[in-house]
Amino acid sequence: MRVITGSARGMSLRTLEGETTRPTSEKVKEAVFSAIQFEIEGARVLDLFAGSGQLGIESLSRGAKSAVFVDSDKNAVKIIQANIEKTGFGDKSEVFAKDYSAFLNMNVRKFDIVFLDPPYAAGFMEKALDRVSDFVDDKGIVICEHSCRETLPDAAGALAKYREYKYGKTAVTIYRKD
């Protein structure tokens, strides 16, 4: 797994060993960032269910202002911190070792881009999507990576489904603030 482009282009990132974390494939990551390429510069990013932190780090590499990484797995948090240190984005990053709900309960910030990539079939996606709606800035977007067998709602809070893409067994649904 590597950073595709930007200031950290080509740097390899560590990922958690085993089956507990499912990193976003290169193909899906490239497609996601092509879809949002003009919205990244200066953005405040939330990488919820961050895993290795690759989506937030890719955003920082492409010019995002800041990124917040959240994961409840302590080993994943160590990997995220190591990847941030390796890419030199420590001054633009915050890492929280919390479950998504606990983080959202304490959060008061708004974000321009939110990545939701929870474990498939764990029931987190719709709950997190409903909750995160309150923390998306007026022109913000939410990018959801999920199983193509899972159908996400047309709306969640103030978010409306904007686009949906399928890549094999993976689907990406993009929401925008109404």
The set of residues, in sequence order, having a beta carbon less than 8 Å from that of 138 and lying 6+ positions away, is: 177
Question: Is 16 among the domain residues?
Answer: no
Question: Is 69 among the domain residues?
Answer: yes
The overall average pLDDT reported for the chain is 91
Question: Is 119 among the domain residues?
Answer: yes
Give me the pLDDT at residue 5, please.
84
* pLDDT less than 50: residues of the chain: none
- Total residues found in the chain within this entry: 178
Span between the terminal Cα atoms of the chain, in Å: 34
Question: Is 6 among the domain residues?
Answer: no
Domain encompassing residue 93:
26-177
35: CATH: 3.40.50.150
Domain count, the chain: 1
Give the C-alpha distances (Å, rounded to integers) separating 60 from 36, 50, 125, 158.
13, 14, 24, 26
HSE-up of residue 49 (Cα within 13 Å, Cβ side): 25
The set of residues, in sequence order, having a beta carbon less than 8 Å from that of 79 and lying 6+ positions away, is: 14, 15, 16, 51, 52, 53
Give me the pLDDT at residue 18, please.
55
Residue 145: φ, ψ to 5°: -105, 130
